[in-house]
């Protein structure tokens, strides 16, 4: 191990053993008799578990390593992903969650069948599982292992295997409840450890938090432009004002509003108010995250980091500027972030595979009755106890298989320079089509089933066409253009097919969107904070 004291090693070991013990305890003691218990935590999550789990599922090596690497190259502008996400969370909580929860939606593909048909459900379910396994799980395992290799000297493959075992132990055995409750502990660790690393590198740069920030701004003012102009070499990744009014909205609304491994936590809450409060709390945390995941990368640039590629910036900070004992806390935070994200992705991938692919295709009794298949709709009349146990076992086995695939593929990502941008771009191949289907399906009653199916079919080919035929267009702008084109095609097909509202249109009362005073206050704080940051660093 490199530059680690006995105290550091003791803290890391204590964290891993303690968290695994807690996760296994929750897994053993949690009720897992039905698919509802395993995949949806029996709809029992309070607001603090929802909020903590949302952040823990989101913040991973992708942010600690990938976003710090982009901070090293791009600067504070990369924080737009975090700040715009905070606003997006408020929008999702106010307008998406009330409909999903009122209509008893528990997986995103399930909504697609309820609103459209089985073709749309199955098509996007397959896309999601492939995306989760081949992009999300693999990239999180790779980035986390890259950091552990740089900081602790652990060989990359051993680190990948270790992280998979760490996160899979409770995610596979305990289901969503184990994932969510361990997330609450892990999010506290990742925030504490992240702040420790930020404080120490800022102290090295300028003698303290505020003086360190002032030193960074003085020595690298170009790294503190929130809106990049066309002369900036990173404009293709963050194309100016489009960040505020264009493709960034597509990426964020897709991620926070339709992405199963994120929104599943909000849908498993005790009530709509608990779900909205937890989501607003997550938005508040997102506002402070740039201090944890972006500033260390900028500091590494100012301090002249001796690194071969940007994604080594955060490990360099930990190795060189975080002191004994605190280094153990920072590494524990990193492990917490990786473990919670991998666990969340594995749980949701197995949820979609089991409930939206395996069950409709292989449990013929349900298919013959032509029911909308969800574990919480008249569950007792749908499945026997034996069938419920079978679904839980399918979820566990599929989760284990997805982890193994991730372990096998992760080492091949070694040639990436900025992994965060890689993840954003390739997720952007599917996000415009998915978001168009959801937005039109939720809020426009004429949207037809064939229009939604067309959106599924053309989304990826259209994104590839834009990428290779118009390479000069920034990928974020491509996402916006793809969304507009797919929406236009869907609207045209729907108007041709439906003179009146579609037979499967979603109906709701606008009073459904009224929110509590608590939610409104938190939302106002978030909006003011984000606006202030953009005004100061415009």
Domains of the chain: 45-365+383-419 (1.20.1730.10)
pLDDT score at 467: 81
Q: Please name the residue that has the structure tokens 């920034």.
A: 474
* pLDDT at residue 368 is higher than 50: no
Report the range of poorest mean pLDDT among 176-190, 392-406, 513-527.
176-190
- Residue of 339, 300, 424 whose CA lies nearest to 148: 339
Q: What torsion do the CA atoms of 499, 502, 506, 511 make, to the nearest 10 degrees?
A: 20
d(Cα 492, Cα 376) in Å, to the nearest integer?
35
Mean pLDDT along residues 79-107? 89
- State how far the Cα of 435 lies from the Cα of 257, in Å rounded to an integer: 8
- With H, G, I as helix, E, B as strand and everything else as coil, classify residue 45: strand
| pLDDT above 50 (res 472) | yes
Q: How many CA atoms lie within 13 A of 471 on its CB side?
A: 1
The answer for residues whose C-beta is within 8 angstroms of residue 105's C-beta and 6 or more apart is 99, 111, 114, 267, 374
Let me know: does 179 contact 344? Beta carbons within 8 Å: yes
User: Which pLDDT tens digit goes with each residue over 222-278?
Assistant: 888 888 888 877 787 778 787 888 778 988 898 888 887 777 778 778 888 999 999
pLDDT-based confidence at 419, cuts 50/70/90?
low
**pLDDT (0 to 100) of residue 378:** 40
Tell me, letter by letter, the H, E, C secondary structure of 348-397. Answer: HHHHHHHHHHHHHHHCHHHHHHCCCCCCCCCHHHHCCHHHHHHHHHHHHH
How confident is the model at residue 105, as a pLDDT? Answer: 78
- Band (pLDDT 50/70/90 cuts) for residue 420 is low
- Residue 142 predicted with pLDDT over 80: yes
Pick 477 or 445 by higher pLDDT.
445
The pLDDT of residue 450 is 92
For the beta carbon of residue 193, count every other beta carbon within 10 angstroms. Answer: 28
Three-state secondary-structure class, residue 472: coil
Residue 132 pLDDT class (50, 70, 90 cuts): confident
Q: Cβ neighbours of residue 240 under 8 Å, at least 6 residues apart?
A: 227, 228, 229, 230
């Amino acid at each position: 191990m490199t530059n680690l004291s006995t105290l550091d090693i003791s803290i890391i070991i204590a964290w891993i053993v303690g968290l695994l013990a807690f996760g296994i305890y929750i897994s053993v003691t949690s009720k897992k008799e039905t698919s509802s218990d395993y995949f949806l935590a029996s709809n029992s999550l309070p607001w603090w578990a929802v909020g903590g789990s949302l952040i823990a599922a989101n913040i991973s090596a992708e942010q600690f390593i990938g976003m710090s690497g982009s901070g090293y190259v791009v600067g504070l502008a990369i924080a737009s992903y975090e700040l715009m996400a905070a606003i997006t969370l408020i929008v999702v909580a106010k307008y998406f969650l009330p409909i999903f929860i009122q209509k008893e939606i528990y997986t995103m593909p399930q909504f697609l069948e309820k609103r459209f048909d089985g073709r749309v459900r199955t098509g996007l379910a397959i896309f999601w599982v492939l995306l989760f396994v081949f992009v999300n799980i693999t990239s999180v395992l790779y980035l986390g292992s890259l950091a552990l290799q740089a900081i602790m000297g652990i060989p990359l493959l051993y680190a990948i295997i270790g992280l998979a075992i760490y996160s899979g132990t409770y995610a596979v055995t305990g289901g969503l409840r184990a994932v969510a409750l361990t997330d609450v502990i892990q999010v506290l660790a990742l925030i504490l450890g992240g702040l420790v690393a930020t404080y120490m590198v800022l102290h090295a740069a300028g003698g303290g938090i505020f003086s360190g920030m002032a030193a960074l701004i003085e020595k690298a003012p170009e790294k503190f432009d929130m809106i990049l102009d066309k002369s900036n070499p990173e404009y293709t990744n963050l194309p100016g004002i489009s960040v505020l009014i264009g493709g960034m909205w597509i990426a964020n609304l897709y991620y926070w509003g339709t992405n199963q491994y994120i929104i599943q936590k909000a849908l498993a809450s005790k009530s709509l108010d608990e779900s909205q409060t937890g989501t607003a709390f997550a938005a508040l945390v997102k506002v402070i995250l740039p201090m944890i995941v972006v500033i260390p990368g900028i500091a590494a640039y100012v301090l002249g980091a001796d690194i071969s590629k940007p994604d080594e910036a955060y490990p360099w900070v930990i190795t060189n500027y975080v002191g004994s004992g605190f280094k153990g806390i920072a590494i524990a935070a990193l492990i917490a972030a990786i473990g919670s994200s991998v666990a969340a992705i594995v749980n949701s991938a197995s949820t979609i595979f089991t409930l939206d692919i395996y069950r409709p295709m292989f449990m013929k009794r349900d298919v013959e009755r032509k029911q909308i298949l969800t574990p919480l709709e008249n569950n007792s009349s749908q499945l026997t106890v034996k069938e419920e146990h079978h679904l839980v076992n399918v979820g566990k086995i599929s989760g284990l298989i997805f982890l193994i695939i991730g372990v096998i593929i992760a080492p091949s990502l070694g040639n990436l320079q900025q992994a965060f941008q890689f993840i954003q771009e390739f997720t952007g191949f599917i996000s415009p089509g998915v978001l168009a289907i959801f937005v039109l399906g939720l809020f426009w009653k004429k949207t037809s089933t064939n229009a939604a199916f067309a959106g599924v079919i053309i989304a990826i080919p259209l994104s590839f066409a834009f990428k290779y035929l118009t390479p000069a267009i920034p990928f974020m702008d491509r996402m916006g253009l793809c969304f507009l084109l797919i929406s236009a095609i869907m609207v045209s097909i729907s108007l041709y097919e439906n003179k009146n509202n579609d037979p499967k249109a979603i109906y709701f009362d606008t009073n459904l969107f009224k929110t509590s005073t608590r939610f409104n206050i938190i939302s106002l704080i978030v909006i003011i904070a984000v606006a202030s940051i953009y005004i100061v660093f415009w």
